Structure formats: C-alpha cells, structure tokens
Amino acid sequence: MLLSRNSPSFVFLFFLLRYCTSTSIITLDKPLRDGSVLVSAEQNFALGFFSPKDSSKRYVGIWYNKVSVQTIVWVANRDHPLTNTSGVLKLDKTGALFLYDSQKPGVFLWSTNITNSSSVAQSNYSAELLDSGNFILHGDVNNKDVLWQSSDFPSDALISDMKIGVDRRSGLNRFLTSWKSPDNPGSGSYTLMIDANGSVPQLFLYRNWEPVWRGGPWNGVGWSGVPEMAVLGSARFIFNVSYVDNAEEVYLVDYLRNKSVISRMIVNESTGTLQRLTWQEGNNKWVNFYSAPKDICDYFGHCGAFGVCNIYNVGEYECKCLPGFEPKAPRDWYLRDGSQGCVLKQEGRICGNGEGFVKLERMKLPDTSNARRDLSLGMKACEDLCLKNCLCMGYSAAEVSDGGSNGCITWYDKLVDLREFSSGGQDFYVRVNSFELANYSKKERSYGYIKVMVPLLSAALLILLLLPYCNIDGEDLEFDEIMTSTVDVKFHSLSTIIAATENFSNANKVGEGGFGSVYKGKLHNGQDIAVKRLSNASGQGTEEFRNEVTLIARLQHRNLVRLLGYCMQNEEKMLIYEYLPNKGLDGFLFDDQKRCMLDWKRRFDIAVGIARGMVYLHHDSRLRIIHRDLKASNVLLDAQLNPKISDFGMARIFGSDQIEETTRRVVGTYGYMSPEYAMEGLFSIKSDVFSFGILLLEIIMGRKNSSYYAENSVNMIGHVWGLWEESRVMDIVDHESLGESHQHDSEIFRCIHIGLLCVQESAAARPSMSEVVFMLCNEINLPLPDQAAFIFRTSDGGITNTRSSSVGVTSVNDVTISTVQGR
C-alpha cells in the first residue's frame, strides 16, 4: 500500500524511522554521510545534507526539525556546494571537522579551520547539535570546552540565544549575510552587522558594504532607529533582547521568552530587508512580524548631511534641514531629491558668537561614526562639553533605559541619517547660532503662551457654544477657525447636511447612540456619508464633539472609521463620517438571523482587525489614544465586513511616557469597563485591553455580555470563568451559528484563553494589545489567566470580586454611565 506524504501513517512512520536511527553527535569513528541526519536531544533542530528548492547541489545545513516547511538557519559550505550525494562530514584526529566528496577524498569543500593546542586524547573529540540550533565541537561529551561553534559563523539567520557582534579580544565578527537567492545559499550582497568602530557601536544593514539602513546606537532600551523595540522588548510572552558593550566584546543576543514560539531574524536578498519572521503552524507558513527598512525615511542618508526625514508631513516633502541650515542644492530639493543635504546658512557662524542648542524631539540619532561617548557625564555637563568645542555639532543622552537621560554622546563633523518619528525616538540637541537660538526661544515662549491660553479660550468657547449666535444658513466662523487651525477637516454647512439627509428623515435614520442619532446621507457629489447628530439634551455633547473631531482627524488606519468633516451651527453639532453599509458589529453578532453570516474565519478576522486598530491607537499613531468605550456597537463593518473602530467621544490622549490617569468622571458602558476604572476612575491602555477581552468573548459566544447565562452567575465573565475552571469552556462557543465542525476548535480555544488573559482583575497581568495581536496570530504556549474581574454570584458561597464587592454592583452591564464617582 502506498502512503501519502501527508497521511498520519506516513508521518508516524517517518518520525519513527528518523528518531530511532538518528543521533545528535558526530565522533571520530561515526562521520555524517549524505542521507543521515543529526537531531538535537529534544528534536528542535536537525543537521544534514540538503538541496534548496529547484537545485540539485548539496549543502550541509541546520534546519528547524518541527517546522513542516524545511527552513534552513545555517549553512556550512554555502559558497562551495557538492554536485552529488557522496558528501561526508568527518571529524579528524586534530579535532577539526571536514566536508569532502567521498569520490574525491583529497578535496575538502569546507572545514572548521581551527588550531587546537589541547592535550585531550584524540579519541574523545566530538561534534554535537544542541537544542538551541548551535553545532559545537568539543573534547568529548563530558568536556564542555567549546573548540568551535556554528553560531560564531552565522549564515543569513539569527535564532534565539545566538549572538551578533564583535569579540574585541579575538577579532571575531559575527554578522548575517543574505542568500544569493531562494535556491542558492551562497553569500549574497546584503549584510547585517554591528559596526564597533569608534566609541559608539551601531547596527547597520549593508548592500555590497554600502550602508542601506542603520539601526543607530543602543540607548539602553533598543536601537535608537528602531522605536518598535521598546514595545517588542517589553513583550512578556514573546521576545527579549540583551545587549552587551564592554572592553572585551560588543554583541546583541535575541532570545525568545516563550519557547513555544518559533521565530528567526533573517537578511533577505530579494527584498533587501532585515526581517523578523514567526512560524504559524495553523497556516503552515512564515509570517513577517517586523522588517527594515520599512519606509523611505529608513534608507540611510535619504536627506543627506544635516537633513531630517519625516514621512508624517502629509502632502509635504519628507526632507527638511536642521535649524540653521538650508538646502545645498535648492533646485534638487524642489525636485524632491535631498541627497545633497543641507549646508549652514550664510549667517550661520556657530563658534564663539553666543550660540546654543535647539532641542529636537522624537529623533533617530545621527550616524555615530564621528561621535564620542562618555557615560560619566550628565546632560548639563554634556551641553557644556559640546559648547566649548567648536567642532561639536550636537549632543544627546547615551542611555534612556530608566526613563531619564544618562551618559553623553557628542557629534563632530557632518550629521547624517536623522529622522523624526511620530512616537519614540530620543531628544537630540543641535548646535545653532545666536540668531536661530533667539528665533526658537520666541517660538518656545509662544508655545508656552498657547498652552496657557488654550484652556481659557476653550472655556470661553464652551460658553459661546450655548448661544444661538448665527442663523440656520450661516456658518459658525469662530469654531471653524479654531478647528481648522489645528486639524484638517472640512466644514459643512447645516443646509448641506439637511439636503443630504432629506431633513433628517426617519427613513434615513440608521442608528441611535448615547449622544444622539446617526443618519445616512448623500452629498451633492454623490458621496455617501454617515451623519452623527449630537443630541441637544446631552450635557456631554460639546466636549465629546470637540474631542472626536480633534482626535479622529489625526488618526489614519484601515481599522479606524474615517472622519470626513463636521458641522456646527446654531445649536446643531454634527460629525460626518464615511458611510459603512453594514453598520455596527452588534447588528450582526446579536441578531439571530445575521449572526449566521459570521462564520468563524470572519469572526476571527474581525477580532484581529479590531486588535490591530487598538495597537495603532496605543502604540503606532502620532498620538497615544485610550479609547475608553470599546464595544460591539462602536465597531462598524464595511461592505466586506472589515471592522472599523468608531466613536472617539470619550477617548483620551496620553503622553508617550504616561502609564495611567485618574478621573472622577467615569464614562462608558459598564459591562465593558475594567474594575479599576469603574470603581476607582483609574484608566490606561490596560483598560482598553479589558474591553477588548469582553468583546472577543462576545464574538466567540454570539451573545451580549449582559445576557443571562446560568444559575448563580450574574454576568458573562462569571459564566466563562466558571466553565474555564471546570474545563468546559468550549461550551460557550456559538455552535448554533458556527456549526458543530471541530476544524477550528484549537484556534477558538486559544481566543477564549486570550480573552480571559485580557479580563484579569490585575491590570498589570493583562497583555498589551501588541501582545494580543501576536498571541492571536501565532500558536504559542499561553500563561494561565489569573482571577477574572467582576465575578459576582447571586447565592452564598459563590465567587466574588474583592475589589468591587463592597460597592453593591448589580447587573447593569448595558447601562451607559456618565457620573460614577471614583473613590
């Protein structure tokens, strides 16, 4: 009987034969021949001969043993392939490994090329494949002195616990080099390495040894040019990075906190990028988690010397000059070619003439090839040091890991490869002459004046908004001026909106929320719109209106609803959005007929889309936004049922380093509120994580959190938590709509598990939204959830939530609260 390669019987037989005949060690009398395989002790990695796709050439390599798609992480003879299957990897009497063709025994294709002065008996040499993927050569199994190891000579991949960097004692330089092509592991043109020349090492991606991308210097949290590392580095369930820089060596170790994750960093020749890839077992493929360069500003020196790149200047050229500098080639600059960079302005003398420094925020620090570092100096001493040296062009902190600024880096000669981030980055202080310094001082004073005046103007504006100071066809010019001075949104007159909605006819009414009604409309150009008409009876209307306009106009993401404009005349306050024909997620999820249209794949995609939108709000947008009212009715669906988060009336802006905030005015929908917010007025990004956990469980169950669930259980969390403790949590699944097929059970169970991690009582224990996205998209081992929040019972002896048991809360999950007072 012939067995299919994918049949269970074939797989069992394959692994049985493989593991029963394999070993992890080569000895003097047991070489490795083509056709045999070494397998590490826990079967994580395998080493043997292989041929790349569409190639007949043979190589010795290491690959993941538990990944169904053969993925090579190291190649010995990458530039010297075998042309047949007669290869032998042999350990000789000197303690060196040799690869040769048994048909040509005198010709060696590769060797470890070591000089061993050890007096260990020759019979005890051995080479072993470890579960870390490292292939090591040592005296014997019991003698762990490493004579040679594959991790010192990487190919194109950096795997967990593997170093990249320089040993200053021996001169050994560990760096990654791309494959020439997917079917040729020969050394390609791209190289990733730490440049340890000078006093400030930095990470570079080169093409033919010309810099393509620069990660920048290490600042204690991550590379200066990779602000995402601050998020990835704190991912408790996923990655971590260790960086060492001392007199003996400088290196980076990238390791996985969660050993069930399979991930690697590679240099990709075809894309010309550095990539972080993770394996998705369910989808049987590698998924790109991060790559660089990722945009035009990531390319080294895109704006030339003394130029700064910023892709967030929408509609403008991404390059600008540093303060006190002007384009060297104005014509090229006009044609959007900044490669010539900038030069000092004619009046720009910056030595001994009353000069000083201008602070630039959220910056990728310049190339440190001509920089100096002194970890003993504070920022004031650093400024004094730079000011005394006319060749010093700027300075910054060397370390920001503790939230402060420690140590000093000073730059000399040209400043190259600067960029401005929307969030993250560091403060950089650039040297300017007295004229520029005076100009920037005026701007700072003006900014301080604005910070004082804006609250006063806002208060005055709120008073004016209560007065009917213009007729029905007139425009609210005062409000229009203030709004358009800060955000780019279009004002629509009241008459335009009346015409578009047919005078707010009931036939066009598509929804109603806490602050008013929503109408479908059509503008004179044929564009469909959704008009959110705020209720005059709402005491919160004006504040939420201003909040929503100023926030949404700045946010652009495929999973956020798009604001098209606003209208404010007489007593009317309206927001104009893109029209989404399928309205709210609640209209599908909680409707007995429409719920069947959401199969599991669609529900999972909706959940992931919502999570990605929240990651943008919390980490990736120019502003750090806490939504505070994430729920099913505030997730709209477009024509393809893609989710878009809406209703930012209650959202709050956080500073980049702000962790939490307290309010005495708790607003939102109670069933989605975290306990620390509902009871104490304390909110943070973890408050939104709690709301997402509730929403994720609703998506799985197809029921509102306020529904009745079971005897002795007041709310949804209590119901789910009880079933989790009884190992019956799959009972919550909406089988009526999803059917009884068990095809997706493992993915559904993982989502329930993630939902419970999100609704843990302890905010600190909840994952971040970036961690949630990773957990949703990767089959990894998850930590067990701790006590879930808001668990109440209606009879004695049941579970209670200690944080809120004294508050006398009852089943009011679907009530919109506006004035709960925190303790």
Render 597-648 in DSSP notation, one character per residue: G--HHHHHHHHHHHHHHHHIIIIISSSEEE-S---GGGEEE-TT--EEE---
At a CB cut-off of 8 Å and minimum separation 6, what does 374 contact? 382, 385, 398, 407, 408, 410
Share the mean pLDDT of the chain.
80
The answer to whether residue 4 scores a pLDDT higher than 60 is: no
Q: Are the C-beta atoms of 574 and 604 separated by less than 8 Å?
A: no
Class of residue 379 by CB neighbours under 10 A (exposed 0-12, middle 13-18, buried 19+): middle
Indicate which residue of 629, 647, 688, 734 is catalytic.
Answer: 629
Please report the beta strands in 381-421, taking only residues with DSSP state E, as ranges in sequence order: 392-396, 408-412, 418-420
What mean pLDDT is predicted for residues 18-33? Answer: 77
Q: Name which CATH class applies to 585-820.
A: mainly alpha
pTM: 0.61
Higher pLDDT: 193 or 122? It is: 193
The angle subtended at Cα 156 by Cα 150 and Cα 160, nearest 5°, is: 60
Say whether 605 is catalytic: no
Residue whose tokens read 């004046």 = 449
- Please give the pLDDT value at position 444: 52
Cα four-point dihedral sign 127, 181, 172, 166: negative
**pLDDT tens column, 158-197:** 999 999 999 999 999 999 999 999 999 999 999 999 999 8
SS3 87: strand
- Please give the pLDDT value at position 138: 84
Higher pLDDT: 8 or 290? It is: 290
Class of residue 210 by CB neighbours under 10 A (exposed 0-12, middle 13-18, buried 19+): exposed
Both structure tokens of 720: 């789910």
Please check whether the two domains, 466-578 and 585-820, share a CATH topology: no
Residue whose tokens read 């900038």 = 342
**pLDDT tens column, 719-763:** 899 899 999 999 999 888 887 777 889 999 999 999 999 999 888
Q: How many CB atoms lie within 10 A of CB 272?
A: 18
Residue 594 counted as an annotated binding residue: no
DSSP state of 711: T
Residue 293, preceding peptide bond in cis (omega within 30° of 0):
yes
Both structure tokens of 490: 């279009």
Report the topology of domain 466-578: Phosphorylase Kinase; domain 1 (3.30.200)
What mean pLDDT is predicted for residues 102-106? Answer: 84
Total residues belonging to the chain = 823
Per-residue CA distances from 158 to 48, 132, 256, 292, 351 (Å): 19, 11, 12, 15, 46
The answer to whether residue 349 scores a pLDDT higher than 90 is: no
Both structure tokens of 526: 């044929």
Q: Are the C-beta atoms of 687 and 677 separated by less than 8 Å?
A: yes
Residue 181, strand partner residues: 184
Q: Are the C-beta atoms of 549 and 483 separated by less than 8 Å?
A: yes
Report the topology of domain 21-147: Agglutinin, subunit A (2.90.10)
The answer to whether residue 454 scores a pLDDT higher than 60 is: no
**pLDDT tens column, 683-697:** 788 999 999 999 999
Backbone angles phi, psi at 700, to 5 degrees: -70, -40
Alpha-carbon distance 232 to 237, whole Å? 10
Domain chopping of the chain, boundaries: 21-147, 154-294, 297-441, 466-578, 585-820
Both structure tokens of 107: 């010709």
Residue whose tokens read 């730059």 = 411
